């Protein structure tokens, strides 16, 4: 059965109001994390292209710096890329990151969120992660999403959206 406005063969990405998908991600410690385990509190899920690159490092540092403020609001934050759990461990250690990271080993999360997209750099087309962030309410429903994120000021914008969501 096809979802709303879904053509045959098209991947349907999550939309505002949709429930968080039942997906598990690999953690740097070698375990797994079920996204639905985040239900019961506000949850920020951000996808980023690659560990230890300038934009991705800045984004992880920004979320790490604001993590105490997110936690004070009862919100959890999780960054996801295709990088291996071992690469995540090195990334976290190198920059003293506090924001939790996870790996989408089977691409299920990237498909569900519609972040695995065709990109272009210097005229070359390739597949990659569209830097995107998703904010879920405590009921596990998507409250807001950001696509094609520009890093400067983004983590602050997400924090303000968490505050606004809680106040509503």
pLDDT tens-place string over residues 79-128: 999 999 999 999 999 999 999 999 998 999 999 999 999 888 898 998 88
Within-domain flag for 18:
no
Domain with 134 in it: what CATH number?
3.40.30.10
The question of whether 20 is a catalytic residue gets the answer no
Residue 43: pLDDT over 90: yes
Query: Residue 46 in contact with residue 39, Cβ under 8 Å?
Result: no
Nearest to 49 by CA among 21, 79, 20, 23: 79
Q: How many distinct structural domains can be found in the chain?
A: 1
pTM: 0.90
In a domain, 58, yes or no: yes
Residue 49, in any domain of the structure? yes
Residue 80 is part of which domain span? Answer: 24-167
Closest to 59 in 3D by CA, of 160, 150, 162, 145: 150
**Please, is 122 exposed, middle or buried when counting C-beta atoms within 10 Å of its C-beta (0-12, 13-18, 19+)?**
exposed
**Catalytic residue (one of 44, 56, 142, 155):** 56
| Residues 6 or more apart whose Cβ sits within 8 Å of residue 92 | 28, 101
């Amino acid at each position: 059965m096809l979802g709303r406005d879904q053509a045959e063969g098209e991947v349907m990405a999550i939309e505002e109001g949709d429930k968080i998908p039942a997906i598990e991600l690999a953690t740097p410690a070698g375990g797994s994390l079920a996204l639905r385990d985040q239900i019961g509190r506000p949850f920020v899920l951000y996808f980023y292209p690659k560990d230890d690159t300038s934009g991705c490092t800045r984004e992880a540092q920004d979320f790490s710096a604001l993590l105490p403020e997110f936690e004070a609001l009862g919100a959890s934050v999780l960054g996801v890329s295709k990088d291996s759990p071992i690469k995540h461990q090195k990334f976290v250690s190198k920059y003293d990151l506090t924001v939790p990271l996870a790996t989408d080993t089977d691409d299920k999360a990237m498909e569900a969120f519609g972040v695995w997209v065709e990109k272009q750099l210097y005229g070359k087309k390739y597949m990659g992660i569209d830097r995107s962030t998703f904010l879920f309410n405590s009921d596990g429903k998507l409250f807001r999403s950001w696509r094609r994120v520009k890093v400067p000021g983004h983590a602050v914008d997400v924090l303000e959206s968490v505050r606004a969501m809680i106040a509503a």
